[in-house]
Amino acid sequence: MAFVFGNNPALEKRMERLGVNEEEISESFIRSGGPGGQNVNKTSTCVYLKHLPTGLEVKCQSRRSQLLNRLLARHILLGKIEQRIRREKLKSQSEKAKEARRKRRRPEKIKVRILEGKHRRSVKKSGRKKIHEIEVA
């Protein structure tokens, strides 16, 4: 069953911008629990959505109307998809920046300082050798 957007073109545009098709969303309805009396027992107002390509799931039962819950669930799902896309984009940017930092050329003075430090450590370690380890020349 395809969702009818009705008078909510913003949701349709948002889905289009994110590249989410209605066919990619699995939708089912569950009987809500909690306060509401007979209405809760008779109607399935809780909406469960699953975006099949990403595996993201949303459950919405904040309103007594199934139509409103369907709309809210889609907004929540699209928010989660946007958040995932943003996170992946930031991750790739940080990996690129890390690689650039790793590959940048070091100034000559820093190279010299690093080599001097290595030489000092080697001298210190050679001074720790035991007497029988030292070669007699």
Structure token pair of residue 133: 């380890």
pLDDT single digits (tens) 57-81: 999 988 888 888 999 999 999 999 9
Identify the bridge partners of residue 130 per DSSP, sorted by sequence position.
none
Identify the bridge partners of residue 58 per DSSP, sorted by sequence position.
49
Name the pTM for this structure: 0.67
Alpha-carbon distance of 128 to 8, in angstroms, equals: 77
Alpha-carbon distance of 40 to 33, in angstroms, equals: 7
Q: Where are the alpha helices (DSSP H) in 1-137?
A: 9-18, 38-42, 66-103, 108-126
- Write the class of the CATH domain 9-100: alpha beta
Domain parsing of the chain, residue ranges: 9-100, 103-128
Dihedral, 72, 75, 77, 78 alpha carbons, nearest 10: 170
Structure token pair of residue 91: 């991750």
Mean pLDDT of the chain, nearest integer: 86
pLDDT single digits (tens) 2-27: 566 566 888 888 888 988 988 999 99
Torsions phi, psi for 65 (to 5 deg)? -95, 130
